[in-house]
């Protein structure tokens, strides 16, 4: 079989087709609604941390790194808890935070920043591949579906002494960096996001962590283009629900130059995930308001806005966090946490040498948002039905949305 050579960006086909523009309207509407609501919430860290931990768990699950919320909570606490899968998920969350801070500081997304993000995920500074790396495979048959840029039979380029694969990867990543940061073509950013995700996954520049790095790039791009202020939209849960379609459509771009269905898939994911995230954000905000009112009424002597922010900053807190955050003595911090636990606001557990206090209510809100409760496209067949509807000029956007909403409730227990 002839080696597929990945073309440089931009793609040489029309991206803004009628089908794509139909899907684009819904994606932009849902994303704008999420951004508008999130922007009204004073403490963004509460939302970011709660959404991030779900994304870190889901994105890692795509790579068969499976962990539970309880394991994650213990690993996040920084204690002696040692679960390799949970630690990998926590590394992913650290990479997300690191990338977000860099985007806000620099207002640009460079190849070096992407390499840096991957190093946080893998806890390694290996950088771009210099030798053949991993290849995407069909999960059912084990067949290699695509070979990323790599060494083609020679160990070293005789002219400059660099491996052929490394040189090709550098050129492709440089081209991708330019496409990410320059908007010379006037293409809508959400359409470009689909192109960027495809291209990065096809370059497959690292030995490991490519998928997770690519999904972080997605949300950083939304922040870079100011479509979101906070990194709170992730496609991992959508990809898990439609995994076979994801890999099939990626391959169809390579084999059939079928950009249209791939872009619609990503736009559908953005619309659905925006709606799901908005629901989660509203539930978190409601829980913050409810607990604030209850603590203010039941424990007026210890209530403060700063205390609430500390209790919701993570799923858990420690004596040291309260002591330093409120600038009080350790004894007073212990008293505060003990009182909150007695009133049912916190649940404590000794992990290693530390006592960790879990915000059980926040924990349950974040944990009890399973995909099937909000999942609008529970399988690939339904997604392809949507694609067929979109291609039918007699079917309106409203009819497509009605079908998706109906499916949402039919798949709710």
Instruction: Return the minimum-mean-pLDDT range out of 46-55, 283-292, 330-339.
Output: 46-55
Q: Which two tokens stand for residue 187?
A: 């293409």
Angle between helices 305-313 and 44-62 in degrees, nearest 10? 0
| pLDDT at residue 144 is higher than 70 | no
pLDDT attached to residue 94: 86
| pLDDT at residue 412 is higher than 50 | no
CA distances from 207 to 115, 130, 143, 152, 184 (A): 11, 9, 19, 17, 32
Q: Which two tokens stand for residue 59?
A: 């994105």
Bigger pLDDT: 331 or 404? 331
DSSP, collapsed to helix, strand or coil, labels residue 68 as coil
Bigger pLDDT: 146 or 15? 15
Displacement of CA 249 from its chain's centroid (Å): 20
Residue 14 domain flag = no
Nearest-angstrom CA–CA distance, 348 and 77: 12
Q: Which two tokens stand for residue 222?
A: 């939304």
Instruction: Return the minimum-mean-pLDDT range out of 96-110, 200-214, 381-395.
Output: 381-395
Residue 61 domain flag = yes
Instruction: Return the minimum-mean-pLDDT range out of 55-59, 161-165, 275-279.
Output: 161-165
CA distances from 283 to 47, 137, 290, 300 (A): 10, 38, 10, 24
DSSP, collapsed to helix, strand or coil, labels residue 51 as helix
CATH of the domain at 203: 1.10.3290.10
DSSP, collapsed to helix, strand or coil, labels residue 148 as coil
Nearest-angstrom CA–CA distance, 202 and 197: 9
pTM of the predicted model, to two decimals? 0.80
CB 197 within 8 A of CB 266: yes
pLDDT digits (tens, 9 = 90+) for 383-409: 545 555 555 555 555 555 555 544 443
Bigger pLDDT: 314 or 109? 109
pLDDT digits (tens, 9 = 90+) for 58-84: 665 665 555 555 555 555 555 554 666
Residue 121 domain flag = yes
pLDDT attached to residue 61: 60
How many C-beta atoms lie closer than 10 Å to residue 350's C-beta? 9
DSSP, collapsed to helix, strand or coil, labels residue 348 as strand
Residue 328 domain flag = no
Domain that holds residue 159: 44-257
What's the total number of domains in the chain?
1
Nearest-angstrom CA–CA distance, 330 and 47: 28
pLDDT attached to residue 157: 35
Residue 284 domain flag = no
Residue 164 domain flag = yes
Rounded to the nearest integer, the mean pLDDT of the chain is 79
Pairing of the two strands 347-351 and 354-358: antiparallel
Nearest-angstrom CA–CA distance, 203 and 150: 9
| pLDDT at residue 258 is higher than 50 | yes
Residue 353 domain flag = no
CA-closest candidate to residue 164, choices 10, 3, 1, 2: 3
Burial of 240 from C-beta contacts in 10 A (0-12 / 13-18 / 19+): middle
Residue 249 domain flag = yes
């Amino acid at each position: 079989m002839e080696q597929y050579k990945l073309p440089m960006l931009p793609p040489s086909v029309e991206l803004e087709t009628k089908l794509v523009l139909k899907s684009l309207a819904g994606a932009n509407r849902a994303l704008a609604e999420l951004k508008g609501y999130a922007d009204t919430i004073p403490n963004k860290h509460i939302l970011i941390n709660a959404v991030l931990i779900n994304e870190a768990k889901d994105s890692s699950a795509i790579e068969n790194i499976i962990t539970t919320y309880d394991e994650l909570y213990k690993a996040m606490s920084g204690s002696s808890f040692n679960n390799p899968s949970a630690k990998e998920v926590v590394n992913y969350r650290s990479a997300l935070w690191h990338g977000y801070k860099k985007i806000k500081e620099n207002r640009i997304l460079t190849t070096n920043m992407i390499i840096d993000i991957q190093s946080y995920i893998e806890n390694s500074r290996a950088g771009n591949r210099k030798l053949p790396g991993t290849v995407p495979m069909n999960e059912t048959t084990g067949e290699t579906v695509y070979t990323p840029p790599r060494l083609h039979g020679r160990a070293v380029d005789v002219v400059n002494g660099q491996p052929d694969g490394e040189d090709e990867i550098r050129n492709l990543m440089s081209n991708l960096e330019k496409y990410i940061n320059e908007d010379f073509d006037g293409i809508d950013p959400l359409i470009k996001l689909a192109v960027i995700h495809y291209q990065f996954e096809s370059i497959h520049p690292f030995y490991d962590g490519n998928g997770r790095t690519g999904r972080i790039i997605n949300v950083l791009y939304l922040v870079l283009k100011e479509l979101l202020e906070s990194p709170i939209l992730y496609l991992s849960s959508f990809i898990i629900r439609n995994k076979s379609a994801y890999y099939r459509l990626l391959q169809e771009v390579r084999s059939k130059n079928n950009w249209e269905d791939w872009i619609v898939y990503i736009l559908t994911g953005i619309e659905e995930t925006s709606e799901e995230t908005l629901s989660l954000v509203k539930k978190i905000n409601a829980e913050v308001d409810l607990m604030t009112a209850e603590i203010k009424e039941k424990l007026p002597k210890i209530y403060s806005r700063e205390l609430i922010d500390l209790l919701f900053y993570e799923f858990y807190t420690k004596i040291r966090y309260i002591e330093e955050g409120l600038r009080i003595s350790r004894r007073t911090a212990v008293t505060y946490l003990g009182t909150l636990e007695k009133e049912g606001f916190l649940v404590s557990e000794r992990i290693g040498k530390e006592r960790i206090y879990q915000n059980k209510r926040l924990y349950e809100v974040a944990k009890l948002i399973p995909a099937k409760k909000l999942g609008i496209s529970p399988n690939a067949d339904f997604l392809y039905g949507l694609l067929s509807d979109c291609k039918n000029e007699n079917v309106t956007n409203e009819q497509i949305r009605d079908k998706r909403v109906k499916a949402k409730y039919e798949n709710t227990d």
